[in-house]
Structure 1
Amino acid sequence: MKAAQLLPRPEPQLGDLIEIVRGPYSHWAVYVGGGYVVHLAPLSKISGTGWSSIMSSLADRAIVKKERLCDVVGKDPYEVNNKHDDKYNPFPPSKIVQLAEKLVGREFCYRVLRANCEHFVNELRYGVSRSDQVGRIPQKLH
């Protein structure tokens, strides 16, 4: 019997939102082409913790980064998730990419409840800042 072959993931399209599952929460990025994504990465003040850690929720600043999708994802599962396309009209892909690229390198305030990576990508795609994960945050963080 042959071992199951893994099929390659389809290439995301320009402006697609990428959801990277990291435990109970997800990290979000926007695909800008050529294998790259733009994402909002919290700057952790705690040594040894990166944006993928739950400890990054303690960060109060974040930087917009452009990195290879494979580097941002690592070994975590991910998918294209344009889940609000039925509620909001997405901007044209070229505009989403242009907006995202223009912000690379900029620092922003990071607030897990009001200005996180999911708010960031939804603002880029739809012009609407929203995060569906916020309602799932344990009450201790509120």
Structure 2
Amino acid sequence: MASTYEDLHNAALLRELEVGDLVEFPRALYSHWGVYIGNQHIVHLTGVDGAGSMDALTSGSLFSVCGVTFDKAWVKIEDFFKVAKGCQAKRNNGKDHVCRPLHPHEIVKRAKKMVGEIGYNVLWYNCEHFAAFLRYDRKWSEQVDKAAETAVWGGALVAGIGTAIGLFASTSKNKNK
């Protein structure tokens, strides 16, 4: 069986990972996150098979995979290559500069205790929040922070453009009188 570039990249990364490392799995529009717990295993928060309804659209607890929405997810321990399939995974302990990681033994112990069904909210408790919680005892998603910042700046830009157009229209109207 021929190996893809992603397979070779991920095999090299796997050899470098240490227990407790955060692993980012870049996808098309977002990154999935997990924690390496040794023996080629990742613990991560993932969708509940077969669950979900349109009610989740208004529940405030949104999780969507291929258009199916969920408000629950599973903490699973899975093979690194299964989680990494189709992407180039990367170690991303970037939050270490702000948060102090827990001891690797504590991370694994906490991860194993959490396996099973759990609540999910794309804004308040997603896979990145979960992974950060395991490593740092702090729920934090930079993806959500960046999306919120983009929304605020986008809203400010639209408001600014609207104000400028209104002022221009008002000035033009006054000149024509």
Task: Report the TM-score, using the length of structure 2 for normalisation.
Answer: 0.66
Q: Could you tell me which of 40, 43, 50 is aligned with 1:38?
A: 43
Matches within 5 A, 1:7-86: 8-9=12-13, 10-43=15-48, 45=51, 53=65, 55=67, 58-86=69-97
Q: Is the 8 A contact 2:64 2:70 kept in 1?
A: no
Q: Is the 8 A contact 1:36 1:68 kept in 2?
A: yes
Q: Is the 8 A contact 1:19 1:79 kept in 2?
A: yes
Which has the larger helix fraction?
2
Count residues in correspondence. Answer: 130
Structure 1, unpaired ranges of 5+ = none
Structure 2, unpaired ranges of 5+ = 53-62, 152-177
The one-letter amino acid of 1:55's match is: G
Task: Report the TM-score, using the length of structure 1 for normalisation.
Answer: 0.81
* C-alpha spacing 1:52/1:29, structure 2 compared with 1 (3 Å): farther
Counting aligned pairs with the same residue, the percent is 38
Report what 2:101 is aligned to: 90
**Matches of 2:95 and 2:17 in 1, distance apart?**
16
Partner SS for 1:14: coil
Quick check: which has more Rg, 1 or 2?
2
RMSD: 2.5
Report what 1:130 is aligned to: 140
